[in-house]
């Protein structure tokens, strides 16, 4: 009764590709009414090792995926947990170790405390049977331990009443990751399944869990693109599947996805760009200076960012090279170990940089770099030109490209599919003084309707008004019209 996904593999002639819609339609038609019978199962085993305890970078990545926290928010909360919280019965306690580290090393005493906790609460068979560590690469500074709970016996539930909701979520993530890193592997039984349907062969692959190991406590957050190798129900040869759905999807080669905060953080770590203490500030700064902008969860370069990047690559190729930080770290390490003089190291860097800066200033003297303007569909009612998007102190706005002859400006209005339940006007997206989004009637101030919940395109079946999306775990659609009360889970 559990669903399983299988993919077309070949036909009776061994043909593995479907090259046209006509071929696909013929295949789908011939599969109607066919039985899907399991003809072969190939089983195997594999182990899934627990993740390592957190470094600064992996904490930021996991908090982004699992909790939807920005890197800046993660570091702010981690700082609070590190500095100390008043825990009932324990006084002020620094709940985690130092938050800026790229080492996965763990102190022996902490490892023993965690192992004792695992044996007592889960059993000896849940203890790691090997070393869940990896050798630090040459780019890693090993001055600090991994990020872990400073007192492993203080479980998330014991401190929950002393923490804010977000502090609790982050502490729970750090605590569970650390304990899980010292637990046993998950054991999986893998299956490769052949399924025959008429003249066609389909294949499915997946696994069943033989021993849950560390996953009894902790499962890593998932990226947006999931692995197709998922759990399979128990299957035997000769068993018949019930066809639930046939999908004839056409797939196109997709460009690489844009970075989000987690993947950009990971890329900086892998390329040795910056240090653990600079990952979050770097992303915050390029967002604040509008070199990039958020598009849903992705980070998108702005026109200003592209112009500045091109200029930096042209005038300062050594500075914007991905190897710059890593090379500087090596040179500073040489100074630390007495293999180089700090005066000469600084002179070598600043001498080349000063020459590049002087040359760039000379070549750009009196020249203004023009940032491409984004043209809108809004027509300036004063001069008839298409208005362009500009950025100011309070965000983006529309301005006439005929400035200074025409000084017309407008707010950017983002309409929603909703209709105001009070007056029937359009509902538009607005922002409060602290930049929080809300939704209000376009006829303000004649109509004062507003809502923190986003209007949907669906209409209430009882009163015909717009339904709104309720936030949170118990979210759904509901009607805001007085005396209606309709809700849809």
Instruction: Identify the active-site residue in 82, 98, 126, 200.
Output: 98
Q: Which residue has the tokens 């499962």?
A: 219
3-state secondary structure of 294: strand
CB 184 within 8 A of CB 203: no
- DSSP per position, 334-399: HHHTTSS-HHHHHHHHHHHHHHHHHHHHHHTTT--PPPPPEEEEEEPTTT-PEEEEEEETTEEEEE
Q: At what angle do helices 56-67 and 261-270 cross, to 10 degrees?
A: 160
The whole-angstrom separation of Cα 273 and Cα 259 is 15
CA distances from 253 to 23, 248, 250, 257, 404 (A): 20, 16, 10, 12, 46
For residue 62, give the H/E element and its range.
helix 56-67
348/351 Cα distance (integer angstroms): 5
Element (H, E) at 200: strand 200-211
Half-sphere CA count of 226, side-chain side, radius 13 A = 7
Q: Which residue has the tokens 């729970």?
A: 172
For residue 106, give every residue at least 6 positions away whose Cβ sits within 8 Å of its Cβ, in sequence order, or none.
53, 133, 145, 146, 148, 178, 181
Task: Give which of 62, 64, 102, 90 is closest to 150, Cα–Cα.
Answer: 90
Integer angstrom CA distances of residue 46 from 217, 227, 235, 376: 20, 16, 18, 55
Which tokens is 72 given? 């800046």
Tell me whether residue 98 is one of the annotated catalytic residues.
Answer: yes
Q: Report the chain's terminal Cα–Cα distance, integer Å.
A: 25
Nearest Cα residue to 418 out of 472, 469, 463, 476? 469
296, 259 contact by CB (below 8 A) = no
Backbone angles phi, psi at 475, to 5 degrees: -65, 165
Three-class SS of residue 68?
A: coil
CA distance 273 to 159: 36
On whether the CB atoms of residues 190 and 46 are closer than 8 A, the answer is yes
Cβ atoms of 38 and 236 within 8 Å: the answer is: yes
- The residues annotated with a catalytic role in the active site are 98
């Amino acid at each position: 009764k559990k669903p399983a996904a299988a993919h077309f593999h070949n036909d009776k002639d061994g043909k593995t590709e479907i090259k046209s819609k006509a071929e696909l339609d013929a295949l789908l038609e011939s599969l109607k009414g066919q039985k899907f019978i399991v003809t072969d199962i190939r089983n195997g085993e594999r182990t899934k090792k627990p993740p390592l305890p957190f470094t600064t970078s992996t904490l930021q990545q996991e908090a982004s995926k699992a909790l939807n926290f920005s890197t800046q928010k993660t570091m702010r909360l981690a700082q609070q947990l590190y500095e100390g919280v008043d825990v009932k019965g324990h006084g002020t306690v620094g709940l985690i170790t130092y938050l800026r580290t790229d080492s996965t090393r763990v102190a022996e005493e902490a490892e023993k405390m965690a192992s004792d906790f695992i044996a007592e609460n889960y059993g000896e068979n849940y203890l790691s049977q090997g070393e869940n560590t990896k050798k630090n690469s040459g780019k890693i500074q090993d001055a600090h331990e991994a990020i872990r709970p400073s007192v492993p016996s203080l479980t998330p539930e014991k401190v929950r009443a002393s923490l804010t909701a977000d502090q609790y979520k982050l502490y729970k993530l750090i605590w569970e990751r650390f304990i899980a890193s010292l637990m046993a592997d998950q054991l999986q039984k893998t299956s490769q399944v052949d399924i025959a349907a008429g003249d066609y062969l389909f294949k499915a692959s997946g696994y069943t869990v033989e021993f849950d190991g560390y996953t009894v406590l902790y499962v890593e957050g998932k990226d947006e693109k999931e692995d197709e190798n998922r759990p399979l129900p128990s299957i035997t040869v000769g068993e018949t599947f019930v066809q639930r759905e046939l999908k004839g999807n056409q797939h196109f080669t997709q460009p690489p996805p844009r970075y989000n905060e987690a993947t950009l953080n990971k890329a900086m770590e892998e390329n040795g760009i910056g240090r653990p203490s600079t990952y979050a500030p770097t992303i915050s700064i390029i967002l604040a200076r509008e070199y990039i902008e958020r598009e849903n969860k992705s980070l998108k370069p702005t026109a200003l960012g592209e112009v500045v990047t091109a200029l930096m690559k042209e005038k300062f190729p050594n500075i914007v090279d991905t190897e710059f930080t890593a090379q500087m770290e090596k040179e500073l390490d040489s100074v630390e170990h007495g293999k180089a003089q700090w005066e000469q190291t600084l002179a070598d860097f600043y001498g080349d940089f000063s020459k590049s800066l002087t040359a760039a200033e000379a070549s750009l003297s009196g020249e203004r770099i023009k940032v491409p303007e984004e043209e809108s569909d809004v027509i300036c009612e004063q001069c008839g030109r298409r208005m362009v998007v500009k950025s100011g102190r309070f965000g983006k706005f529309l301005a006439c490209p005929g400035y200074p002859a025409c000084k017309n400006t407008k707010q950017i209005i983002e309409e929603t599919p909703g209709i105001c339940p009070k007056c029937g006007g359009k509902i538009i997206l607005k922002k409060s003084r602290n930049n929080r989004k809300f939704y209000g009637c376009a006829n303000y101030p004649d109509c004062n309707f507003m809502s923190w919940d986003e209007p949907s395109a669906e209409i209430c079946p009882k009163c015909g008004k717009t339904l709104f999306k309720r936030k949170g775990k118990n979210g759904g659609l509901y009607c805001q019209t007085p005396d209606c009360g309709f809700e849809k889970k």
